[in-house]
Amino acid sequence: MKRELIQNTKVQPYTSGEAVERNGFLSAILGAKIGTAGTLTLTITHSDDNAEFVAVPDRLVFPETPAAKDKPGEYTTDALEVDDVVNIDIDLVGLKNYIKIAVSGDAAANTTLALALGDKNVQPV
């Protein structure tokens, strides 16, 4: 394993709506093991002070599927089955220091989440 991966990635269990200090990380992957069939909808909000969170205006936060013009910072998956494992890419460039990812939809119940933060803006020597 490259040291770049070890020193530049942070992986943690995640609970929907929990505030995370991204602390210079430029991208993230939300991993989910689906507990109930259906779709997942992710909505990202951000804050400078971990107190007042506002909607993310960026339609390209989810690079694989840009958000609709009227729903920036939001992404809905295709239908998922129980025990599916999905990874959802998130671009954090331009977001404030604290983020929250609200996970909703039919598949949100009994779903296990993990958040991986990567692309640290300061590389080790």
Buried b or exposed e, range 61-87, using 16+ CB within 10 angstroms: bbeeeebeeeebbbbbbeebeeebebe
Please report whether residue 125 resides in a domain: no
Buried b or exposed e, range 106-118, using 16+ CB within 10 angstroms: ebbeebebebbbb
Q: What is the pLDDT of residues 22-49, one digit of tens each?
A: 988 999 999 999 999 999 999 999 999 9
CA angle, 13 as apex, 8 and 17 as ends, to 5°? Answer: 105
Q: What is the mean pLDDT of the chain?
A: 90
Q: Look up the domain containing 81 and give its range.
A: 3-120
E strands, 8-47, in order: 10-14, 19-21, 25-33, 41-47
Please report whether residue 41 resides in a domain: yes
Residue 125 — very low, low, confident or very high, per pLDDT cuts 50/70/90? very low
Q: What is the number of structural domains in the chain?
A: 1
Please report whether residue 87 resides in a domain: yes
